Amino acid sequence: MTRTILRGRVLSFHRTPQALDDAESYLYLEDGAVCIEDGLVVAVEDFAEADVAGAEIIDHRPNLILPGFIDLHLHYVQSQMMAAYAGSLLEWLNTYTFIEEQKFSRQGHAEAVASDFYDALIRHGTTSAVAYCSSHPRSVDAFFAEAQRRNMLMVGGKVMMDRNAPEALCDTAQSGYDDTKALIARWHGRGRALYAISPRFAITSTPEQMAAAQALVAEHPECYVQTHLSENDAEIAYSMELYPDSQDYTGIYEDYGLLGRKTLLGHCIHLNTRETGVLAETGAVAVFCPTSNLFLGSGLFDRERLVKQGVRIGVATDIGGGTSVSMLRTLDEGYKVLQLRGQRLNPFASFHMATCGNAEALGLAETIGSIAPGRAADLVVLDARATPTMRMRMGNVETLAEELFLLQTLGDDRAVAEVYVAGVRTKSALADL
């Protein structure tokens, strides 16, 4: 049995940090050893106390070793249309998104995009993500097949959409149900794959399709649910025209039994008091997508209000509405959004969100998101001196908090020195191809 020991400064979170001085919320080892066997972490301790006999030692000093980043909301089928010029959400969907997603009907297209997409995740330190595929089952097959090839824990699903989109993208209530049912049987629980039942959003699903999604959720409680909620004022107004009997936008999903602890709701910007109460009561997760919200001018996420109401929260890139695959760039823009809200987000809380916090949102905190015995050895190694500007700034950095803030503010894929998936070095392997 091969043992590998990663040496470096180790940082992993136990819970949400409440302040900069909340040292009990995380583990930090100045000279740590992460011992890995068979893809799992088996020990985390000071290097001086580690049993190094017979182990391969990989020295990452002075860099930081953290859990791999987790991205709770993205569209891998939009990878090739990031930074598409548009004024608002609905214009962006109709002008670019629906056109781009039609390409996934072509033989070989999904496989090529999936390969590039996973390469991009690894370069930026993301080891798990929750993705929307297109309405084509082959896009789901390509997504999970590539994840399986790389042994990555990924969540995803075919979008269900039977109206208000080009005919070439639309399924029907019945075909959406049948395709999803077959894909769940084919992929959920196979290797590290997990399925998400994915009605795109209320605008693109008829009541019949929402009822079909409700049936799928009842039949497959082991699966996740993902959709969009309250991203844009025009989206909200149109949704209420289509579902006039629902109390509000959240009420549409509530009426069809789609809200629960495995439900991931992208955006959640413009929620009324009743809606936040429903999310808190059902345990559904509000997913903060800062780069997308800024790029499309959708609004400013109110993290403090949702936390006070007891709503569970995650963070995500939301590519291709989002403008970067990087969780570091996402945390940077998230900080700025919250600054505009008058809500100061400390860097420990930022990195907790992108690792342990997102794992908790998925109910997978015993599997991923932290560095502890029994967890998957999905790890990222961060170099705060990766660029000349970062090296210059590091000359005045005196605390771990300052270093983390530098990483999220100035860092990008160049700050990701290495990535491990189930204990296997993956970023350096990309460079060797």
Q: What is the DSSP string of 365-423?
A: TTTSSS-STTSB--EEEE-TTSSHHHHHHHTT--SHHHHHHHHHHH--GGGEEEEEETT
Helices in 151-288 by DSSP H: which ranges?
Answer: 173-187, 207-219, 233-242, 249-255, 273-282
Residue 306: per-residue pLDDT:
98
- Return all residues near 368 (Cβ < 8 A) that are at least 6 apart: 67, 68, 70, 127, 128, 153, 359, 375, 376, 378
Name the DSSP letter for residue 295: H
Ranges assigned E (strand) in 93-183: 126-132, 154-157, 159-160
* pTM, 2 dp: 0.97
Q: Token pair for residue 5?
A: 């020991």
Question: Beta strand pairing status for 424-425 and 416-421?
Answer: antiparallel
Q: Which of 234, 302, 244 is nearest to 268 (CA)?
A: 302
Residue 81: per-residue pLDDT:
83
Q: Are the CB atoms for 263 and 285 separated by under 8 Å?
A: yes
Q: How far apart, in whole angstroms, are the C-alpha atoms of residue 303 and residue 294?
A: 15
Sheet with 3-13, edge to edge strand ranges: 40-46, 26-37, 3-13, 56-67, 379-382, 416-421, 424-425
Burial class (CB in 10 A: 0-12, 13-18, 19+), 392: exposed
Burial class (CB in 10 A: 0-12, 13-18, 19+), 283: middle
CA-CA-CA-CA dihedral for 324, 329, 333, 335, to nearest 10: 160
Q: Are the CB atoms for 186 and 223 separated by under 8 Å?
A: no
Identity of the residue numbered 336: K
Q: How far apart, in whole angstroms, are the C-alpha atoms of residue 270 and residue 276?
A: 10
**46 phi/psi in degrees, rounded to 5:** -60, 140
Q: Which of 231, 297, 283 is nearest to 254 (CA)?
A: 283
Q: Which of 191, 195, 86, 209 is nearest to 132 (CA)?
A: 195
Coil/strand/helix, residue 16: coil
pLDDT one digit per residue (tens) for the chain, 433 residues: 589 999 999 999 999 999 999 999 999 999 999 999 999 999 999 999 999 999 999 999 999 999 999 999 999 999 888 888 877 777 888 888 888 898 999 889 999 999 999 999 999 999 999 999 999 999 999 999 999 999 999 999 999 999 999 999 999 999 999 999 999 999 999 999 999 999 999 999 999 999 999 999 999 999 999 999 999 999 999 999 999 999 999 999 999 999 999 999 999 999 999 999 999 999 999 999 999 999 999 999 999 999 999 999 999 999 988 999 999 999 999 999 999 999 999 999 999 999 999 999 999 999 999 999 999 999 999 999 999 999 999 999 999 999 999 999 999 999 999 999 999 999 999 976 5
- Return all residues near 93 (Cβ < 8 A) that are at least 6 apart: none
